[in-house]
Amino acid sequence: MFRNFKMVLNVIFGRGSFAQLEDILLSKHAGAPCAHVYMVDDVFQNTDFSRRIPVRNNDLLLWVNVDDEPKTVYVDSLTQQVRERLKTEPGGLPASVIGMGGGSTLDLAKAVSLMLTNPGSSADYQGWDLIKNPAVYHVAVPTLSGTGAEVSRTTVLTGPVKKLGINSDYTVYDQVVLDPELIAGVPVQQRFYTGMDCYIHCVESLTGTYLNAFSQAYGQKAMDLCREVFLNPGPDSDDKLMMASYFGGMSIAYSQVGICHALCYGLSYVLGVHHGVGNSIVFNHLEEFYPDGVLEFRNMLNRNKVELPRKVVAGIDDARLEKMIDIALTLVPLWENALGSGWENIMTRDKIRALYRQM
């Protein structure tokens, strides 16, 4: 069976393109009185950017906090806030949900747009194709590049029992606004870690057993762009990083990630380590599996003068380490992509434990 791949419907790209957001929303909802919900990373409160957000009349601006990566309880509470505030709108729904921020904010906005039209808790939908009803029209405005969340069909959430995305065709954004000017102010370390998420997507996709010409075409281009950005930067690096994120996301959408992401999920679930930094910590210990990628990654670390956190796992108790291993082992497609159908014989609990203990 071949997957019928759902893609983002509309994309606008270019420096300054954010200024067209209001026109895009107006043309989409022409004539109808309606409310839009802007979900914006609270790092932008009281900034020049916040004054450019086209909030009008009945619109709702929600500042979202991403100190912790998205949790299902947070999604449920944000959805409830939107419902309460827009009770008087037709159908009780906004016309659109617009997410502005990094991967965490983009995932929160995806999840809220889904939960406004689907009953229950977002935790009920962690898995594959469990969403029944189309989401509210939703728009991504990335302000940090690398995760590919702007193109993917998932929103990664930590729930009461698992860290797993809501994977669904309805999750995919209807509109993406790619304005490289918006990522100019990202702190250097954060830009590097989120950029490495993209680089690692490419390595895992391009070396995986699920690879095909579709994924390869996008993955190779994204990897070349990452090399330019992190080894040979120039004035258009932000433009390139934005496109690398997009293409990296397209590559894994039709293949899969691998060992680094599986181990990172365990690390993040138990220790709360953020995705980009977690992937970087893990990837540095995967020379055995991705020798060329790890070598190049270390060159990028040196070139960008980034020091990885050390001894993150070393001191933790056995129970938490075993939980980390449990979480990592649930990600069967990732292991299968990386190591093939006999992956369980290679990646035993002992092997995973030994890898984690080095980190």
Ligand X SMILES: NC(=O)c1ccc[n+]([C@@H]2O[C@H](COP(=O)([O-])OP(=O)(O)OC[C@H]3O[C@@H](n4cnc5c(N)ncnc54)[C@H](O)[C@@H]3O)[C@@H](O)[C@H]2O)c1
Task: Indicate the residue whose CB is closest to Fe ion.
Answer: 197
Q: Compute the least distance from the CB of residue 333 to Fe ion, in Å.
A: 14
DSSP state of 70: P
Q: Which residues bind Fe ion (CB under 5 A)?
A: 197
Residue 333 contacts which entry, ligand X, Fe ion, none (Cβ below 5-8 A, type-dependent):
none
Name the minimum Å distance from CB 82 to ligand X: 20
C-alpha 253/C-alpha 53 separation (Å) is 30
Return the amino acid letter for 355: L
Give least dist CB 142 to Fe ion, A: 14
Instruction: Give the one entry of ligand X, Fe ion, none that residue 36 binds, where binding means its C-beta sits below a cut-off of 5 to 8 angstroms depending on kind.
Output: none
| Residue number, 37 or 241, with CB nearest to Fe ion | 241
The listed partner (Fe ion, ligand X, none) that binds 293, CB under 5 to 8 Å by sort, is none
Three-class secondary structure of residue 156 per DSSP: strand
Phi-psi region of 88 (alpha: psi -120 to 50; beta: other; left: phi over 0): alpha
Distances in Å between the alpha carbon of 317 and those of 173, 284, 348? 40, 22, 20
355 contacts: CB under 8 Å, gap ≥ 6: 263, 285, 286
Residue type present at position 341: S
Q: Which residues pair with 39 in a beta bridge?
A: 62, 99
> Is 345 exposed, middle or buried (CB count within 10 Å of its CB: 0-12, 13-18, 19+)?
exposed
**Minimal distance in Å, beta carbon 155 to ligand X?**
5
Question: Could you tell me the smallest distance in angstroms from the CB atom of residue 143 to ligand X?
Answer: 4
Which is closer to Fe ion, CB of 94 or CB of 101?
101
Q: Which is nearer to Fe ion, 59 or 197 (CB)?
A: 197
**Cβ neighbours of 299 (radius 10 Å):** 12
CB of 30 to ligand X, least distance (A): 30
Please provide residue 220's backbone torsions phi and psi, each rounded to the nearest 5 degrees: -65, -40
Considering the complex, what minimum distance in angstroms separates the CB of residue 266 from ligand X?
13
Closest contact distance (angstroms) between CB of 359 and ligand X is 18
Which of ligand X, Fe ion, none does 255 bind, CB closer than 5 to 8 A by kind?
A: none
Burial of 235: CB neighbours in 10 Å, binned 0-12, 13-18, 19+: exposed
* Of residues 137 and 199, the one with the C-beta less far from Fe ion: 199
Smaller CB separation from ligand X, 25 or 109: 109
Cite the DSSP H helix spans in 234-348. Answer: 237-253, 259-271, 275-283, 291-303, 318-329, 332-339, 343-346
Q: 156 contacts which partner out of Fe ion, ligand X, none, CB within 5 to 8 A by kind?
A: ligand X
Choose the contact partner of 159 out of ligand X, Fe ion, none; CB within 5 to 8 A by kind. none
Q: Which does 208 bind (CB under 5 to 8 A by kind): Fe ion, ligand X, none?
A: none
Decide whether 95 or 229 has the Cβ nearer to ligand X: 229
Residues contributing to the site for ligand X (CB under 6 A): 41, 43, 66, 69-70, 101-105, 107, 143-144, 146-149, 152, 154-156, 182-183, 185-186, 190, 194, 197, 274-276
For helices 188-206 and 291-303, the axis angle rounded to 10 degrees is: 170
Cβ atoms within 10 Å of 18's Cβ, excluding its own:
21
Q: How many CB atoms are closer than 10 A to CB 27?
A: 9
Picked from ligand X, Fe ion, none, the partner binding residue 114 (CB below 5 to 8 A depending on kind) is: none
